[in-house]
Structure 1
C-alpha cells in the first residue's frame, strides 16, 4: 500500500513546506529591508507562498517526475511570488521599503528554494537507488513493446523506487488470473500495471475488482481502446504513459497532513474539554449498574486492513457474544445507562483517544468488527476500498442513515457505496459538513441508535 515501505513518506511534503517557509521568513528578517510593520510582511509572504504553492501544486513531485517539470514548477512559482512580493508595497502603502532590497530578497529566496528543491529531489533519488528505501513492489500484466519499455524503466531507474517482480503474459498458454492474483498476494505486490492491449474487457474487470477488494494500486498502460467511462489520472514514467484508475485525495501528503492536524486538534479539545470530567462520572454510573470494566475494547480493521483496538464506554453487561454479534433493537445485553449513552453516541467518545494516537480519524468509514470484515469482503464487491483511508468515529454513511445494525444486504451495499464516495471525494469541507450533521443527528436522535 501507499507508504508501506517507508512510514514517513507522507511527511516529506509538509516538512518541505515548513523548511521553505522558515527560509523565506529568515531571509526577510536577516536582509536589511525597511519595514514599517515586519509582522505584517512575514504573515503576508507566508500566506502568499502557501496559496501559490497549493494553486501551482508546487510540492507535488513524484518519484517519476522529470527535472524539466521541476524547473517549470520553479519558474511558475516565482513568477507569482514576484508579483505578490511587489504588490505588498501598494496594498499596504509601504513607501519606505527599498525596491532594490526587495529585489535582493527575491533573488536570495529563489536561490535558496531552488537549491533546497533539487537537494531534496536528489537525496530522495539516491536514497531509493542506494539504500533501497521507500520501495514499491510491482508486477506488469501484458507482453508488448510498451510493457517491455516500462519494465526497462523499472530496472534501469532504481532511483524511481520500484522493485519489479514479475511479468505475466495474458493470451499465452498457462496464463491464469487466479494464479496471478495469488502471486500478487503472496509477494506483497503494491502496484499492478496492466497493458490494455493484452487484456479482454472481462479480464480488465477482474483486475479492477481484485485491486479494489485487496487494497492494491492498479494502473494501466493505454492503447487506443476505450477503457472505462470515468475520470482517469494521466502520468508519465520517463516517456511511458500510465493511467491510474483511482485517485484518492488522502493519498496526497498535504491532504493527509491537513486531516491529521485537524484530527489532533479536534481530539485534544474533546479529550481535555469533555472526557477529562465525563469519564469519572460515567465510570461511577456504569459500575453502579453492573460489574465489569468501564471501557469496552474490541479489535477492528483500519487502514490497509490492519487490526487495532477500538475503545468505547461499556454499554452492555459483559458477555461472550460482544465480538460476534452487533447490538439489535431491544437487545437484552444493553444496560440502562448503556441505552442512554448509545442513543446520544456518548459511548463513542473514547475513540477520540484512537484518533489522537493515529489509529482512527474523526471522519471516515466506520471500522467493522474483524468477523464482519472477513464476511463482507467476500460478499460485497469493492468492500475493501474503504480501507484505503483511516476509519472514522463518524462517516458519510452514518449521517445518511446507515449506522448501527445491518438488517439487510442492501444496508451494507449502500453503506459501502457511500464509504467509497467519501474515499474518492474527500475534502476538509466534506469532513466539517459530516461533523456538523453528526452533532445535529445526535441532538435529534436517530432510529438506529440502540
Structure 2
C-alpha cells in the first residue's frame, strides 16, 4: 500500500447500524449470562417441586441427591452451544436445550441403574420434576428470545461491509465503510494503515469485502491477521453454480478468514493469564522495585521504556520494558537491532537483558489485556531483518497478529530470538508463530511456559 495509507484514515464510514457494533459483543455476553442463570433456575425450581412432592408422599429425599447429577451434565451439554444462534434462532436453541435436558436425564437414570440406586427414585415425582424443569426452561428461553429479537433487531453479530471500488446494493443494519483504492499488487501494508483498519474492526464479528477481482488477494492478506471472520463477495460464483458458498445481501461469498480464537478459548486463555500474572506481580514486586532503583542510579532517564508495538488484530499498543539503554540513544522505532557489546546498553542494562528481567514490566501489559503470557512476540513498526522492514519481507507477516502477542512464544523456546541480521532470522520466527496460531491449545500454552524456563538466560539475549 502506498505511503498515503499510513498518513491518514483511508477508510470512510458510509453507514452505521442502529445498534452500535462495539456494544453487541457485550450485549451477547449479558444475554448468555441471563440464559445460563435462567436454565439453572428452571432446573432448580423443577427439581424442588419434585422433592416437595416426594416429601409429601413420604418418599426418601435422597433420591433427589442422585438426580442432582442431571444439572452438571445438562450444563456441560448446553453451554458449549452458546453462540449468536442461541439468540438469533432462539426457537431452535430452546429445543436443543430441551434435547440436552432429556439426554442428561437418561444418562443419570442409566448411571443410577448400574449403581443399583433406581429403587430409591420415585417415578412420579421424578416425572413431575422433569416436566416442571422442561416447561420453565422453554418458557424462559422464549421470553429471553423475544427480548433478544427487539434488542438486536435481526442480528446478534456485529457486521461490517468494506466497499472498495465497486457498486453494490448497501444493506441495512450493519456498518459500511468505503476505502481508497489499494494497489493491485501491493502486499506490504503499512502497520499504521492496519492500525486504522483495526480501529474500524473493533467490536466487529464478521467482515464482508466487495472489491474488484484484482484486489481480492490483497484484501484477503490484510484481513487474515485482523482476528475477524471475513467473507469475500464474489458474484460470479452464482454463474457457475458453486456448491457450498454462502450469500450476503444476495451476493455469493466465500470465507477467507476464520478470525481468531473462539470466545471459549479466549476466556480460557485469559483465565490462565490472570491466574499467573496476579500472583506473579505480587511476588515479584520487591525485585521490580530494586531493578527500577538500580536503573535510576545507573543512568539518567525514565525507568520504563515505552514503545509502540503491533498487537492483536494489527492494532498498535504501548509495550513496557525496563530501560536498558542510555536515554538519549533509545531507538523508539526499533530500526537498529541490539548487538553484542552494544555501546547504547547501560551497565545495569547488560544484566537485565541477559537475564530477560527487562521484559518483566510486560506483566502490566498482560494484566491490562494488551498481551498474553504466550503468543507471537510483538514487534516494533521499524524492525528490520537485514535491510528490509519485517512487514515487507513476507506477505504472511500480518497473519501472526490474529491473537494477542506474548511475553514468550513458540519461536522463543525454539531459540529464534535476538538480532535479525538477515531475512531468514525473521522467516524462522514467522513460521513458528504461524504454527502456534494455527494450532493453539491451552495445553500447548502451558508446555511453552515451562519450556521458557530453560531459555530465560540465552546466548542471543544481549
- Structure 1 partner of 2:339: 328
What is the CA–CA distance in structure 1 between the aligned matches of 2:65 and 2:78, rounded to whole Å?
A: 21
Asked if the contact 2:224–2:256 (Cα under 8 Å) also holds between the matched residues in 1, the reply is no
Query: Could you report, residue by residue, the CA deviation over 1:188-237 in whole angstroms, capped at 9, with x for unpaired residues?
Result: 47655468xx975x6543332243366664314674899xxxxx997677
Question: Aligned to 2:230, which of 200, 218, 239?
Answer: 218
Query: Could you report, residue by residue, the CA deviation over 1:80-115 in whole angstroms, capped at 9, with x for unpaired residues?
Result: 222233245346664534344333333333334434
Once the two structures are TM-superposed, the CA of residue 298 in structure 1 deviates from its matched residue by: 2.5
| CA 1:139–1:194: 2 relative to 1, 3 Å | closer
Moved over 6 A (4+): 37-41, 140-144, 213-216, 232-241
- Structure 1 partner of 2:362: 351
Higher-RCO chain (CA-CA 8 Å, sequence separation at least 6): 2
Q: Which one has the largest radius of gyration? A: 2
State how 1:109-120 maps to structure 2 within 5 Å: 109-120=133-144
- Structure 2 partner of 1:23: 41
Asked if the contact 1:312–1:348 (Cα under 8 Å) also holds between the matched residues in 2, the reply is yes
| CA 1:280–1:193: 2 relative to 1, 3 Å | closer
Q: Does 1:205 align with 2:217?
A: yes
Deviates more, 1:236-245 or 1:253-262: 236-245
Secondary structure, aligned partner of 2:328: coil
Structure 1: 5+ residue stretches without partners = 169-174, 227-231
| CA 1:186–1:16: 2 relative to 1, 3 Å | closer
Q: Does 1:48 align with 2:73?
A: yes
What is the CA–CA distance in structure 1 between the aligned matches of 2:245 and 2:30, rounded to whole Å?
A: 23
- Structure 1 partner of 2:410: 396
Secondary structure, aligned partner of 1:270: helix
Question: Aligned to 2:326, which of 317, 328, 340?
Answer: 317
| CA 1:186–1:408: 2 relative to 1, 3 Å | closer
What is the CA–CA distance in structure 2 between the aligned matches of 1:186 and 1:292, rounded to whole Å?
A: 33
| CA 1:393–1:264: 2 relative to 1, 3 Å | same
| CA 1:31–1:69: 2 relative to 1, 3 Å | closer
- Structure 2 partner of 1:308: 317
| CA 1:124–1:66: 2 relative to 1, 3 Å | closer
- Structure 2 partner of 1:171: none
What is the CA–CA distance in structure 2 between the aligned matches of 1:308 and 1:225, rounded to whole Å?
A: 45
State how 1:2-401 maps to structure 2 within 5 Å: 4=22, 6=24, 8=26, 11-12=29-30, 15=33, 18-19=36-37, 22-23=40-41, 26-27=44-45, 30-31=48-49, 33=51, 36=62, 44-45=69-70, 47-53=72-78, 57-62=80-85, 66=89, 69-70=92-93, 73-87=96-110, 89-90=112-113, 94=117, 95-129=119-153, 135-139=158-162, 154-155=171-172, 158=173, 162-163=174-175, 178=183, 188=200, 192-193=207-208, 203-212=215-224, 217-220=229-232, 223=237, 243-248=254-259, 250=261, 252-272=262-282, 274-324=283-333, 325-372=336-383, 375-401=389-415
| CA 1:383–1:111: 2 relative to 1, 3 Å | farther
Once the two structures are TM-superposed, the CA of residue 287 in structure 1 deviates from its matched residue by: 3.8
Once the two structures are TM-superposed, the CA of residue 300 in structure 1 deviates from its matched residue by: 2.2
What is the CA–CA distance in structure 2 between the aligned matches of 1:391 and 1:3, rounded to whole Å?
A: 24
What is the CA–CA distance in structure 2 between the aligned matches of 1:7 and 1:278, rounded to whole Å?
A: 39
What is the CA–CA distance in structure 2 between the aligned matches of 1:376 and 1:233, rounded to whole Å?
A: 37
Query: Could you report, residue by residue, the CA deviation over 1:297-353 in whole angstroms, capped at 9, with x for unpaired residues?
Result: 323232233333222233333334231334222222333433333233222222222
What is the CA–CA distance in structure 2 between the aligned matches of 1:267 and 1:341, rounded to whole Å?
A: 20
Asked if the contact 1:14–1:253 (Cα under 8 Å) also holds between the matched residues in 2, the reply is no
Asked if the contact 2:164–2:181 (Cα under 8 Å) also holds between the matched residues in 1, the reply is no
Query: Could you report, residue by residue, the CA deviation over 1:241-268 in whole angstroms, capped at 9, with x for unpaired residues?
Result: 7542232451x22221121122111111
Secondary structure, aligned partner of 2:458: coil
What is the CA–CA distance in structure 1 between the aligned matches of 2:427 and 2:323, rounded to whole Å?
A: 29
Deviates more, 1:64-73 or 1:364-373: 64-73
- Structure 1 partner of 2:422: 408
Q: How many residues align?
A: 416
Once the two structures are TM-superposed, the CA of residue 21 in structure 1 deviates from its matched residue by: 6.4
TM-score (norm 2): 0.72
Secondary structure, aligned partner of 2:305: strand
Once the two structures are TM-superposed, the CA of residue 369 in structure 1 deviates from its matched residue by: 1.9
